[in-house]
Amino acid sequence: MFSIHQCKWIEGMNLSKETNEHSDGFSQKSVNREVVFATDAPSDHSKRKRYLTAKYDRRTRQKISEKIKIENFVFDQLRALYSTEIDDYDCDIDVDEISDLETNEEKIRVLKEKLKSCPARPEEIEVLILKIFIQVHLRRMPEKC
């Protein structure tokens, strides 16, 4: 036999089941909440539009852009030095590697080593080395991104 206390407990279980579940399977809590879509939300055109696809913040994008500009400059100079329109030269200048070197003498030495097989005149090679060196230092080559 059940006591009154047990009957109230069983009755309470049935009540909570009835109030939390409806015939469509949704709980009462989710039925009472409103869903606000972007079209229903008040439009505030004064805010700047944000894109969810942006992976990097503005400062990082600027650093990456500067790095790409330096690399494109180096590739353009190498094409001119090797007198070719395509990248079929045997010289591979890594701008990150150059910027990571400690002293200016090391940077110039590594650039000279990489360009020693270049068919251009030595004066042209020296000019290119100085241009690359200046580009890396003037634009303050960013840390690796």
pLDDT digits (tens, 9 = 90+) for 90-104: 788 888 888 888 888
- Determine the pLDDT at residue 47: 64
- Determine the pLDDT at residue 123: 92
* pLDDT (tens digit per residue) in 64-94: 888 899 999 998 988 888 888 777 777 888 8
* pLDDT (tens digit per residue) in 10-53: 445 544 444 444 555 554 544 545 555 555 555 555 566 655 55
CB atoms within 10 A of CB 78: 21
Domain boundaries, the chain: 58-138
CA 79 to chain CA mean position, Å? 29
Q: Residues 47-66: what's their mean pLDDT? A: 75
- Determine the pLDDT at residue 144: 46
Q: Residues 100-109: what's their mean pLDDT? A: 88
> What proportion of the chain, given as a percentage, has pLDDT over 70?
58
Q: How far is CA 56 from CA 3, 59, 64, 142, 143, in A?
A: 66, 8, 10, 15, 15
